[in-house]
Amino acid sequence: MKPAKPPTIRPGQRVPYRKGTVAQIDERRGHISRMLARGVRKMDIHAIVRVMYHREWRTTDRDIAFIVGQASQWRERARSGYGRMSLYDAYKKIGLIKDDTPNDAST
């Protein structure tokens, strides 16, 4: 395993910054989306993320925008050339959704 790289402090930066892994970012965004679904106010989300994940309000706003759809719309446009599967089809393919069409002909 590589040794941890020390955080970088750039000119004008008050807090050292270390980029999170994809798993850490997904965990943080999942937590934020659950808070949004429960109706937690944005200022409270900022405070919680600052304490739990040591991220500034700008990063939290970026995550909220990603969750709400501004970033996902850009991602859909960027990936429009690639074959995409709907979430429903993916769930059906892995067996989380059963086909609920009746099998007998009497109905």
**pLDDT tens digit sequence for 51-95:** 999 888 999 999 998 888 765 665 566 566 555 566 777 777 777
Beta strands in 9-74 (DSSP E): none
Question: Which of the two residues, 95 and 26, has the higher pLDDT score?
Answer: 26
Q: Which residues pair with 8 in a beta bridge?
A: 17
**What is the three-class DSSP state of 17?**
strand
Q: Which residues have a Cβ under 8 Å from the Cβ of 6 and sit 6 or more positions away?
A: 16
The predicted structure's pLDDT at residue 14: 74
84-106 pLDDT, tens digit each: 566 777 777 777 667 666 555 55
